[in-house]
Every structure is written in structure tokens, then in C-alpha cells.
Structure 1
């Protein structure tokens, strides 16, 4: 009898056991949680805030809606969502990482912003079917082990007529810039991580994980296969990031 081969997946450019990837990812975000926002501002020159603002404008959030912010981490997206849904609505800030969730909770409470919190795995969302009007996920999907499973889970908990928005690093479409982009993200970014967060390895993983993430068309097809309709995407900053959108009709 042939022994069963253990399923593996990528952790950056390294192959690891699929069952261990979540643990490796957790170690990354536990290490960088308290300096995560500072690093985001530094490594994107603040542009990540414009990307997130565009995603929220694209969502067209209305007062009274129920929104799930997956991989919401430090809560910068949830804070804006909470203002839009108002006291009649609800925002659930969800993350698989307890440390990131705690940082987000503390920061939102300091600002007087009230949202709900849930430590969840995007592959197994513990919410009732047809629960949310909008699901947002910013810079989280590439860290998920089984992305198709997560997309299926999102579809289940989204209300009919609801939409999902996924903001994620993607494939640079401005080819002349690729050597400079690779130099910055693969060489300089880990140095910044060491300087600011005292953790070069975590930021090396984050740069590598971008290369292993599905490109724009592949993710679009994955969303369609999960059941989302009217799917589209918007490239931002030449495709460095893309916002994918889909509806449950």
C-alpha cells in the first residue's frame, strides 16, 4: 500500500504542510501587530489609505447595513465602515489572529468607535447563512491556506443581493517597473521590517506571499466558481493592488 502524501502549500516561497500554514502566518502577524500600521504607511508611502478609501467608495455602504470586515486586523477599515452604517447598522471586525484583533479593539475603543469582534477562520465562518449585506477583506486573502474554501464560506454568509470586496496585492501590469518593484519588495522591504519592526523574516514572507497569490484573472475565476456573479476588478497603482468585487444574486 502506498503511503498517503501529506498535502503541502506555499508559505511565501517555501513549501510547508497545509495544516501548519495558519500557525506560520499567525507567528508573522503576532510579531508585527503593534507596528503593522506604521509599516503599512512606510512601505506604501501612505497610499494604502487611498486604496482602502477607494474600496469603501466602491462598496457604496448604506446606513443600517450589516458588514463583515474579514482579516480586519488593526481596524482602520472597520472604523470607516462603522461611520457609514451608523448606529442602525453593524460592523463585525473579524480576524484569525487574536493579537491583531486585540490591537484593533484597543484602537477603536480609544477612538470611541463601537463595533463587534470575532476571532474567526475565513475558511469556516461561524455565522448564519445570509447574514451580511457586505463583506470586505483587505490584504488578507493571500494568507489563507484554502482560498476557494474561504470564498465559498463568504458566499454562504452573504445575503442575496449582497456584495463581497477583496482588496489585495496583485500582478503589476506596468512591465517596465517590475525590476524596481521586485528590488523594493524583495530586498528593501525586509530591511525596513528589520529597522522598524525588528523582524525582517516576516516582511520577507509578506513580499513573497504577493508573488504566490493568484493574479487578477485567476482570482476573478475563483470568485465565479464560488458562486459570485457580476464579478469585476479594478487595478490600482498599475496593478500593484486590485479590488475584486462580486455579488450574491
Structure 2
């Protein structure tokens, strides 16, 4: 692992990033889903629906939803009657998810605090591993990908939904202005936290582009790696198989 890692546009020590990312998500947990709606115009719901359709969860499967604290992906996966473990490094995010599940009457999910880089689960335990809008906040991404590979069974599948860099030139310029100028202001208005949402936007800019990240997934041992761009790559679904 490098001596420094990115925290938004800053380069900081790995431990400092872990601490500061934890602070960000403790600050935004209660308003996280409201802000997702505001930032994406509600489109994140459609992206997550599409993501879960690609995963194709099946009854009886063991699925790990990493960085899934608020439950958005887990609730969709659970409709298949698969056994879902929701893992997140941030207890505040897990509390929001458990509260939402109770209000919706969704039972049977397993909620656990876990670090994506050092998972406590045994080798070859899960049929599928999902992570949505979480991988870019991990301090050591290669370590997290390696752990995802370790805990999957042979024939298991990895799916990641994450912001990337759109390849549509005109749209890229418009989104750049919107995200840098307006999203932090929305954070201040809706969550009274401009700095956290500035970090979230900056972290997208520092995240590897689609092909580079696909290569990182392959380097972790996954085969048949693919990337499915959405809105020209503004968001992307990456996938791979453990064989």
C-alpha cells in the first residue's frame, strides 16, 4: 500500500483517510438517502434496480452486501429470498439501515460491522459479493478486492456499482459544474454539511476510470471481468467471476 492515499483532492496517510471517511459517513448517515435523491434527481434508485437485476440473486444463495449500511441494495436483494449479510465499517450507517428495515417489516437480514480490507468471514463462503457506491471510499482498494475474491465460492460473482467518468463530452462538462458547485451547497442546505459532500464529489474525481478499475478487479484474481457504463460512464457496473 502507498505511503499516501487520496482523500478527495488531498493526499493523506492511510490511517488518516480511514478516520476521515468514518467521520464523513457518521455526519451524513441520517440524511444519506435524502441527499442521494437530491444529487441524482432520484436516478440512483433506477441504477440500483438495474444493478440488482445484473446480480440475479437466487433463493438460498449467500450474498454479502459490502458498504451496504443503509440497506438500499440489501432490501432489493432480499426480494429473491437469498440470505443477505449487510456489512459496513460505519456503525451509524448500519443503525440507519436496521431502523429502515424495521419500519419496512424486512426481517432476516444479517447486519455486521466489517472492514472491506480485512473481512472476518471464512474462505469461499458467499455466492455473490456486491458493493454499491462504497469502493471509492475504501482506503486500500486492492486489499478489498482481494478479500472479495477470498470470501467468494468458486463460481461466485462480484458486482460493483460506482460513479466513474462519463465519456460524453458535453454532458461531462455540465455534470462537472453541477457536482462541484451545486452538490456541496445541497449538502449544506439538506444536511448542514457542505464539507462532507464536497469530499464525496472529489472522491469520484480521484477514482480510477472504468478500464483501469476493471484491470484492478482482474488483478485481484477475477475472470471474465466486464464493465457496463450508464450515462456514458457517469456510473458503471463492474463485474467478475471467481473460477
Q: What TM-score range do you get, normalising by the shorter chain?
A: over 0.9
Number of aligned residue pairs: give it: 241
1:31-70 pair list within 5 angstroms: 31-70=27-66
State the 1:232 CA deviation.
0.2
1:7-156 pair list within 5 angstroms: 7-84=3-80, 86=81, 89-114=82-107, 115-156=109-150
State the 1:217 CA deviation.
0.3
The residue matched to 2:79 in structure 1 has which SS?
Answer: helix
The residue matched to 1:56 in structure 2 has which SS?
Answer: helix
Deviations 1:131-157 (A, max 9, x none): 101111000000011100000000000
Q: Where in structure 1 are there 5+ consecutive unaligned residues?
A: 1-5
State the 1:171 CA deviation.
1.1
TM-score norm. by structure 1 comes to 0.95
State the 1:26 CA deviation.
0.6
- Please give the alpha-carbon distance, in whole angstroms, between the structure 1 residues aligned to 2:67 and 2:206: 18
The answer to whether structure 1 residue 222 and structure 2 residue 216 are counterparts is yes
TM-score norm. by structure 2 comes to 0.97
Q: Which has the larger radius of gyration?
A: 1
Query: Runs of at least 4 residues of structure 1 off by over 4 A?
Result: none
Q: Partner residue of 1:237?
A: 231
- Please give the alpha-carbon distance, in whole angstroms, between the structure 2 residues aligned to 1:220 and 1:179: 24
More moved, 153-162 vs 103-112: 103-112
